[in-house]
Amino acid sequence: MSVNSHLNSVRFTDEFNTQYEKTLPLISNFYSDLGANKDLYQAFKRVSQTELNVQQQHIVNDSLRSFELSGVALDGAKSERFKEIKEQLSVLSNQFSKNVLQSTNSWKKTVSANDLKGYGADEFSKVKKGDHYEISLQVPVYIDLMTYADSSDLREEVYKAYISRASDIGITSKEFNNRPIMDEILKLRSEMSELVGFSNYAEYSTQSKMVESPDAVIEFLNSLIELSTPQAKAELIDLESFAGHPLMPWDLMYYSEKLKQKTFSFKSSDLKPFFPESSVFDGLFETIQNLYNVKLTEIHEKTYHEDVRVINLEDNNGVIGRIYLDVYARENKRGGAWMSDYQGLYKESLPVAFVVCNLNSPSEGKPALFDFDEIVTIFHEFGHALHHLLTKVPFPCAAGISGVPWDGVELPSQYMENFCYEREVVNLISGHWETGEKLPEELFQKVIESKNFQSGLQMLRQCEFALWDISTHISKDDTYEILSEVREKT
Ligand SMILES: [Zn+2]
């Protein structure tokens, strides 16, 4: 199923999705029955009273909690209802992702070179389609447009198309509206949590997290908001006075880039030629080898898409894991970047991870050239993959990322990001695509200096997402109203 779910995310077709959707209830019901099996639960209880090592203890305790959260204590109609809700949720969450993907693909616009004033050669080459230019809502295209297009009207149009994807407003097709799906998911999650004795889904969810309670989450977010707001306000005032007029949402990235250029006297795009794909990955692999004494070797094997690279991880005794690396943005691929678990370490079976990003691809006579943010993303996702692959735990439910609380799972990935800002590492990952030159010291210093540019605004943006998420899983109020309240605050 992890393979099917991966393919459905990165190589979406209606045909495949239709079959995939048919399997979701089967899988959901299988796990529901397993989680509701009272005999098995009692067996785990008996095992928990025997002598166990620390790994076994952890796994048994995790399993007992998982039985309880799966409604093992429920009987009759309540147990049936719990199972039914789980099944509906698995189908609804797939529909949600499908709508976002199809809505993203449903909008395109043909423009002239004149409409794209402000673009450099690199941005132009990404949207060239024969003798015209085509704008889409794919992330690399969207980011370029919001950052570089001088035309405020065009930015407004594309911004509105992008943020209103899969909704009942905006210009992308209304048939992909996720509003009713969101409402239904929230309602079902709340009912499910109440069935097993919690007052809301946030409380249910934090049972299996490191954080103690939803209150602790809210307190943490509120303190971040309080501490970041003065800085964010100052950044916004700076930006508005630089632009010379009040800013609309579609102006922010555009003027931010210009202000960054003025403040640090360099353009983000100055960095790109120094970071062609091959240098970045060779350098990353060498960094990993230096840190963990393991080797990454590309092997050539046919996969589900020609863009996918197959990479074996080896230690002194041979292969210990594998990564399927799928980096470029393309149509029929879900947006964002993530690592997912193909399989975990268990006996003879080695851990395998999918690393997926939506980054710049090669264009007309040029290799893929990465933005600095994209390089940070790659390091981040490889941090997840290493977490999964370098495991020594001999039990599948606690090996790699399995069984790791979801609010702790970002530690290895965040840790890997830091290496992007080390001169030694930048020497390994940079090499001008034409001359081979390493990133000059002057530009490297600018990367370091500008690292925290507008970090107050960025922090508030993340707090908005997180606070909305936790709040809407506590309250039964309309989720858009809750979002408005959160936005007021952030
Ligand atoms: Zn992550």
Cα of 409 to ligand 1 centre, how many Å? 7
Query: Hey, which residues are catalytic here?
Result: 381
DSSP assignment of 362-389, as one string?
-BTTB--B--HHHHHHHHHHHHHHHHHH
Q: How many structural domains does the chain have?
A: 3
Banded pLDDT at 339 (limits 50, 70, 90): very high
Q: Which residues contact 137 (CB under 8 A, 6 or more apart)?
A: 104, 105, 107, 158, 161, 162, 165, 172
Shared domain for 225 and 129, answered yes or no, is no
Q: How far apart are the CA of 384 and the centre of ligand 1, in A?
A: 7
What residues have CB less than 8 Å from 457, skipping those under 6 apart? 232, 235, 236
The alpha carbon of 2 and the centre of ligand 1 are apart by a number of angstroms equal to 18
Are residues 255 and 305 both part of a single domain?
A: no
Q: Ligand 1 centre from 394 Cα, in Å?
A: 24
Residue 181 lies in a domain: no
Same domain flag for 302 and 439? yes
Query: Rounded to the nearest whole angstrom, what is the distance from the C-alpha of residue 283 to the centroid of ligand 1?
Result: 21
Asked whether 127 and 135 are in contact (CB, 8 A), the reply is yes
Region 325-350: what's the mean pLDDT? 91
Does residue 219 fall inside a structural domain? Answer: yes
Angstrom distance (rounded) from CA 143 to CA 18 = 32
Which residues neighbour 294 within 8 Å (Cβ) at sequence distance 6 or greater? 288, 313, 314, 315, 320, 390
Q: Can you give the pLDDT at residue 66?
A: 95
- Is the pLDDT assigned to residue 170 strictly greater than 80? no
CA–centroid distance, residue 333 to ligand 1 (Å): 18
Cα 109 to averaged position of ligand 1 atoms, centre (Å) = 32
| Amino acid 74: pLDDT | 95
- The residue among 148, 164, 180 that closes a domain is 164
For the cut 80, the answer to whether the pLDDT of residue 172 exceeds it is no
Residue 80 in domain: no
pLDDT for position 267: 85
Tokens matching residue 31:
């796990």
Residue 343 binned pLDDT confidence (cut-offs 50, 70, 90): confident
CATH assignment of the domain containing 332: 1.10.1370.40
Name which residue leads in pLDDT, 123 or 431.
431
Provide the residue range defining the domain that includes 315: 272-449
Are residues 240 and 362 both part of a single domain? no
Comparing 215 with 362, the larger pLDDT belongs to 215
Q: Could you report the per-residue pLDDT of 69-95, keeping only the tens digit for each?
A: 999 999 999 999 999 999 999 999 999
Q: Which tens digits make up the pLDDT trace of 408-429? A: 999 999 999 999 999 999 999 9
Pair 391, 280 in one domain = yes
Asked whether residue 207 is domain-assigned, the answer is no
Determine the distance separating the centroid of ligand 1 and the alpha carbon of 414, expressed in angstroms: 7
Low-confidence winner among 90-94, 391-395, 434-438, 462-466 (lowest mean pLDDT): 391-395
466 Cα to the center of ligand 1, angstroms? 15
